Homo-oligomer: A and B are copies of this chain.
């Protein structure tokens, strides 16, 4: 697939490297492609945003969550129509609050661009782990939220390409469930503070299966 990134930062470069290794074509889209001299690109081509979007089947929103809606506005609804957008961003303010409290950036992007096929995913873990689940001691969970089922299947396949087994993927439901993924950011920071590293993930541990007639509450 042709994967175009909105953003050139740490997350964009890590995911681009992971998907390029799996055989996909990647391009990093920069807001200021003319001011890139000396800045890291992970060995990937860097273009302007419009060019990165035009060439891609799948887009990745790897901009800071506080800037994402502005970046999308510069690209425009026409260029975004019918694209799949993997939204990995979370908006955090300087004092560690969510910039979209009560709702989610994912929902707001979907509402602003109804023809964009938004799938929220990968926003609950650090870049190094996104592309290398084997760094962790055992299996862990990656969440997906989105209204478009074929788009979620596309994203699930791309997650598999990064090394995530199907058993690690948990589809939470529609894009409104992005709220939970984004709100997790504050617990992520708390856990990272306690462990002294961002290199961890959470696993959803289900109940031991029980026989019929037991209380499911």
A interface with B by C-beta (< 8 Å): 96-98, 101-103, 124, 128-129, 134-141, 143, 145, 170-173, 177, 179-181, 183-191, 193-208, 215-217
Contact = CB atoms under 8 A, between A and B. Distances in A.
Contact of A200 (B101, B102, B185, B207): B207
Nearest to A134: B208
B216 A194 contact: no
Contacts of A96: 179
Contacts of A190: 143, 145, 172-173, 177, 179-181
Nearest to A215: B128
Given A184-B184, A197-B217, A199-B216, 7 more contacts: A124-B187, A128-B217, A135-B207, A136-B206, A180-B186, A180-B190, A200-B204
A171 to B, nearest CB: 6
A203 B202 contact: yes
Which of A129, A186, A208 has the most CB atoms of chain B within a 10 A radius of its CB? Answer: A186
A208 B137 contact: yes
Given A128-B217, A186-B179, A200 B206 contact: yes
Contacts of A188: 180
Given A102-B98, A145-B190, A138 B180 contact: no
B172 A180 contact: no
Contact of A136 (B173, B184, B207): B207
B205 A137 contact: yes
Nearest to A197: B216
A191 B216 contact: no
